[in-house]
Amino acid sequence: MPMSYLYGKRFMGPITPLIQNLREELFTQPYNENSWKKARHKCAKEDLYYPHPLIQDVIWDSWSVFAEPFLTRWPLNKLVREKALQVTMKHIHFEDENSQYINMACVEK
């Protein structure tokens, strides 16, 4: 939930030397040269338990080309995104209260 909230807010932290070192270590080519559209479908064959049908890739690509830009425009951005962020924060607070603010795993926060 917290990660989806940060993604929904389009949060960006400062680029620190640690971030730059991680980018050098994790990516096989320079970070600025990555083609993120092509990387969307790349997956190690050990991690791909079930190959995606072509229609699934077409649907996801068309979603990112047509639907996502449409939904990020005002007024839909205000209507949909803000409401989703409010609901997400409500779930986060509910989880905190329900667990008495005890973190059970590193994933929660």
- pLDDT category of residue 81 using cuts at 50, 70 and 90: confident
What percent of the chain clears pLDDT 70, i.e. is strictly above it? 95
Structure tokens at 79: 């209507």
Portion of the chain with pLDDT greater than 90, in percent: 38
pLDDT for res 24: 94
Q: Residue 74: helix, strand or coil by DSSP?
A: coil
Query: Which sign, positive or negative, has the C-alpha torsion 14, 16, 20, 21?
Result: negative
State the pTM of this model.
0.64
In this predicted structure, the answer to whether residue 65 has a pLDDT above a threshold of 90 is no
